[in-house]
């Protein structure tokens, strides 16, 4: 059965008419001709309006028409969607695949010529093409720069010291040394140990850390050092995954507060008695509930909720640093829609405003309900101390804005963040305790770089940790009952005992004696003390100088502890050469290599 019996003649007539009309109108506009031909060809190929007769599709086997079926001119696989082809190629291919279209094959060549002409007429000149290509390339570069700038969170002046009105600052030399240290090394991190205060008797002051393990000690330290401060850094730590039934010691294990020159670590979990009355010092409750004393921190509202639930402390005057961070950052950039109450991690704020990264190693998820190890003390002290300097630096930046926006209100008041013009920013209270997306992503990444601090770094950081004598006498396990009574109450000895106890806790395989470690820490931390003076400090009846010397050298030899060259050389000069080159040969070699 011939195809012509099923409408081929009609198809030829229908196809010729629009094509001839198109050719006649070619002189008017090439573009119009191309469009008309495209329409005509699409009409032919689609087979929708070819005839009033039925238009069946030949089967794959016999090409015989099936009643009530449309005609399909191409049984081959359709082109992949989205793949662009030229008009001439498309039409020519479709025409050549079905005999029914042979009647229009004579026009294929003409169609190719028309399409080529249309392309030539619309193609941009070489210069224009180059400009177009160049423009796209420039746009791509700009787009890349925008993306990079969005991803690149390094603030301006990142390599300079942050502005500060505090008497305790990071000296330029120490700051540049930290910036020059290898990335993710312990020397590159921000810490409270970097800060120095005004000189007293020619000596630069360091930030003191008070580690308190009793209610009485807490009361005394707060009354003496923190009661009159108007702004305090604040943070708490607790046992990971603690639940309500475990009580206060697991849910509020450690309370940290900080001023410009001191940090208080109040280890509630180690207080000897239980019950709220035995855990909360009156002075601590007073400063936390005083609205005139501003306590600053990150996620501070949630922390204070724990204080209320477990310690019956109704904190007031609490300030969320994330609110000030958002106000300063987005007021400066004029991106006011980004000012909200979503939290920004402490590490992000420190990196951006204090210009050094924070150490966030494995210590974060440690058990805070047990006696603190060296790395926990450094971490806890730095967390609370960061708040006081972030507040100081961001307040300077807020006051430098033009116009100056008001400082965000205390968090317990639940007031909106206000702009300089007095326009309130709508905030979602449900999102107050949620981190920003960037911080969530950063926190979800696998920790990289330094995950633990070295013993030498920790020992150096602990030099300015002070423990009250009551705590030392009650809890130093390495001292006998007799020796406790005879130890003088010198802060130098107490600090050394604390360092000794913590070192032994963090180094269970240590090989030296507590007495050796105690003598070493006194010798290492107090350059002005001679060996006889150290011997006098250690006992009411002074030790032999040779005994103290042996203590120090054994600690150095067995534990590979850091030393000052001049101090060690002074000891070696007083010893027989045979002893130096014999028992202490490795130590002597280390001294030579350090010179």
| Tens digit of pLDDT at every position of the chain (595 positions) | 444 444 445 555 555 555 555 555 554 544 544 555 555 445 444 444 444 444 444 445 445 655 555 555 554 444 444 434 333 333 433 333 443 334 333 334 333 443 344 444 444 443 333 333 333 334 333 333 333 333 345 667 889 999 999 999 999 999 999 999 998 888 899 999 999 999 888 888 999 999 999 999 999 999 999 999 999 999 999 988 888 889 999 999 999 999 999 999 999 999 999 999 999 999 999 999 999 999 999 999 999 999 999 999 999 999 999 999 999 999 998 889 999 999 999 999 999 999 999 987 776 778 888 888 777 888 889 999 999 999 999 999 999 999 999 999 999 999 999 988 765 555 554 445 555 544 544 444 444 445 566 666 665 655 556 555 444 333 333 333 333 444 445 778 888 888 888 888 888 888 888 889 999 999 998 888 888 888 888 776 667 788 888 899 999 989 989 998 888 988 988 888 878 888 888 888 888 887 6
In whole angstroms, give the CA distance from residue 129 to residue 220.
80
Provide, for the chain, the percentages of residues in helix, strand and coil under a 3-state DSSP scheme, each rounded to the nearest 5.
55, 10, 35
What are the Cα distances from residue 35, in Å, to 14, 32, 38, 42, 103?
A: 17, 5, 5, 11, 21
Residues contacting 210, CB < 8 A, separation 6+: 221, 225, 262, 263, 264, 265, 465, 466, 467, 468
CATH number of the domain to which 231 belongs: 3.30.420.10
Residue 515 in contact with residue 508, Cβ under 8 Å?
no
Residues 325 and 423 in one domain: yes
160 lies in some domain: no
Which sign does the torsion angle of CA 326, 327, 331, 332 carry?
Answer: negative
Q: What is the β-pairing status of strands 294-297 and 465-466?
A: unpaired
In whole angstroms, give the CA distance from residue 333 to residue 592.
56
User: Would you state the pLDDT for residue 48?
Assistant: 44
| Residue count (the chain) | 595
Collapsed DSSP state (helix, strand, coil) of residue 5? helix
Residue 447, Cβ neighbours under 10 Å: how many?
12
Maximum CA extent, the chain: 129
Closest alpha carbon to 544 in 556, 534, 558? 534
User: Would you state the pLDDT for residue 483?
Assistant: 38
162 lies in some domain: no
32 lies in some domain: yes
Residue 71 in contact with residue 99, Cβ under 8 Å?
no
Quote the number of domains for the chain: 3
Closest alpha carbon to 214 in 273, 159, 258? 273
Collapsed DSSP state (helix, strand, coil) of residue 124? coil
Residues 362 and 332 in one domain: yes
In whole angstroms, give the CA distance from residue 518 to residue 463.
12
Residue with tokens 């130590």: 587
Residue with tokens 């312990």: 186
Alpha helices in 182-246 (DSSP H): 215-225
325 lies in some domain: yes
288 lies in some domain: yes
User: What is the token pair recorded at 534?
Assistant: 């150290």
- The helix (run of H) or strand (run of E) holding residue 4 is none
Return phi, psi of residue 254, to 5°.
-140, 130
Residues 476 and 428 in one domain: no
Collapsed DSSP state (helix, strand, coil) of residue 234? strand
What are the Cα distances from residue 64, in Å, to 6, 104, 569?
A: 10, 23, 109
Which sign does the torsion angle of CA 171, 175, 181, 186 carry?
Answer: positive
DSSP 53: S
Could you tell me the end-to-end alpha-carbon distance of the chain, in angstroms, rounded to an integer? 107
User: Would you state the pLDDT for residue 466?
Assistant: 59
In whole angstroms, give the CA distance from residue 80 to residue 84.
9
User: What is the token pair recorded at 125?
Assistant: 């000149």
In whole angstroms, give the CA distance from residue 370 to residue 358.
24
Instruction: Pick the last residue of a domain from 427, 455, 483.
Output: 455
- State the virtual CA torsion across 226, 229, 235, 238 in degrees, nearest 10: 30
Residues 450 and 473 in one domain: no
139 lies in some domain: no
Residues 449 and 475 in one domain: no
In whole angstroms, give the CA distance from residue 184 to residue 358.
9
Instruction: Pick the last residue of a domain from 122, 137, 161.
Output: 122
Residues 504 and 364 in one domain: no
Residues 25 and 102 in one domain: yes
Residues 331 and 235 in one domain: yes
Range of the domain at 264: 172-455
Instruction: Pick the last residue of a domain from 89, 122, 155.
Output: 122
Residues 349 and 302 in one domain: yes
Residues 332 and 479 in one domain: no
User: Would you state the pLDDT for residue 430?
Assistant: 40
462 lies in some domain: no
Residues contacting 306, CB < 8 A, separation 6+: 236, 238, 251, 252
141 lies in some domain: no
User: Would you state the pLDDT for residue 498?
Assistant: 85
Cα–Cα–Cα angle for 244, 248, 252, nearest 5°? Answer: 100
- Interhelix angle 491-506/374-399, rounded to 10 degrees, is 110
Residues 443 and 476 in one domain: no
Per-residue b/e over 62-74, b at no fewer than 16 CB within 10 Å? eeebeeeeebebe
Residues 97 and 216 in one domain: no
Residue 316 in contact with residue 410, Cβ under 8 Å?
yes
User: Would you state the pLDDT for residue 576?
Assistant: 82
């Amino acid at each position: 059965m011939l195809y012509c019996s099923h409408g081929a003649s009609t198809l030829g007539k229908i196809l010729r008419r629009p094509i001839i009309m198109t050719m006649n109108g070619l002189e008017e506009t090439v573009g119009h001709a191309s469009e008309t031909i495209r329409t005509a060809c699409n009409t032919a190929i689609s087979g929708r309006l070819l005839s009033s007769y039925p238009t069946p599709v030949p089967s794959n086997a016999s090409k015989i028409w099936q009643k009530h079926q449309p005609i399909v001119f191409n049984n081959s696989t359709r082109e992949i969607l989205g793949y662009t082809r030229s008009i001439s190629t498309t039409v020519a291919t479709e025409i050549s695949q079905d005999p029914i279209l042979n009647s229009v094959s004579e026009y294929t060549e003409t169609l190719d010529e028309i399409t080529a002409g249309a392309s030539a007429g619309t193609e941009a000149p070489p210069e224009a093409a180059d400009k177009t290509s160049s423009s796209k390339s420039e746009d791509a570069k700009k787009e890349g720069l925008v993306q990079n700038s969005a991803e690149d969170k390094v603030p301006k002046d990142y390599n300079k010291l942050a502005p500060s009105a505090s008497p305790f600052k990071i000296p330029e030399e120490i700051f540049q040394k930290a910036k020059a240290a290898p990335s993710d090394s312990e020397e590159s991190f921000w810490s409270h140990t970097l800060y120095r205060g005004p000189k007293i008797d020619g000596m630069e002051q360091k930030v003191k850390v008070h580690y308190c393990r009793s209610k009485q000690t807490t009361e005394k330290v707060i009354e003496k050092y923190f009661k009159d401060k108007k702004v305090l850094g604040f943070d708490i730590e607790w046992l990971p995954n603690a639940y309500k039934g475990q009580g206060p010691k697991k849910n509020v294990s450690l309370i940290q507060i900080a001023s410009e020159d001191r940090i208080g670590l109040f280890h509630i979990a180690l207080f000897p008695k239980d019950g709220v009355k035995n855990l909360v010092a009156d002075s601590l409750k007073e400063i936390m509930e005083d609205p005139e004393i501003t306590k600053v921190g990150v996620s501070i509202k949630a922390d204070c909720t724990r204080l209320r639930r477990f310690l019956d402390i109704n904190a007031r005057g609490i300030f969320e640093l994330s609110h000030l961070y958002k106000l300063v950052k987005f007021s400066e950039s004029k991106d006011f829609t980004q000012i909200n109450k979503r939290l920004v991690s402490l590490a992000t704020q420190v990196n951006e405003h204090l210009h050094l990264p924070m150490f966030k190693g494995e210590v974060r998820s440690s058990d805070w309900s047990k006696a603190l190890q060296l790395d926990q003390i450094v971490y806890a002290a730095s967390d609370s101390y960061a708040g006081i300097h972030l507040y100081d630096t961001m307040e300077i930046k807020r006051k430098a804005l033009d116009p100056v926006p008001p400082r965000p209100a205390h968090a317990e008041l639940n007031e909106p963040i206000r702009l300089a013009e007095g326009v309130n920013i709508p905030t979602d209270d449900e999102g107050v305790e949620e981190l920003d997306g960037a911080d969530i992503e950063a926190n979800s990444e696998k920790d990289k770089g330094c995950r633990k601090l070295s013993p030498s770094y920790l020992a150096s950081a602990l030099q300015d940790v002070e423990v009250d004598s009551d705590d030392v006498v009650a809890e130093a396990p390495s001292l006998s009952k007799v020796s406790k009574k005879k130890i003088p109450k010198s802060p130098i000895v107490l600090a050394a005992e604390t360092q000794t106890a913590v070192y032994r806790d963090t180094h269970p395989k240590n090989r030296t004696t507590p007495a050796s470690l105690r003598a070493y820490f006194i010798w290492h931390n107090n350059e002005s003390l001679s060996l006889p003076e150290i011997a006098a400090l250690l006992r009411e009846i002074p030790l032999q100088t040779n005994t103290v010397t042996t203590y120090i050298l054994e600690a150095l030899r067995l534990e590979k502890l850091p030393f000052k060259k001049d101090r060690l050389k002074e000891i070696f000069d007083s010893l027989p050469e045979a002893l130096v080159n014999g028992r202490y040969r490795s130590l002597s070699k280390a001294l030579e290599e350090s010179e």
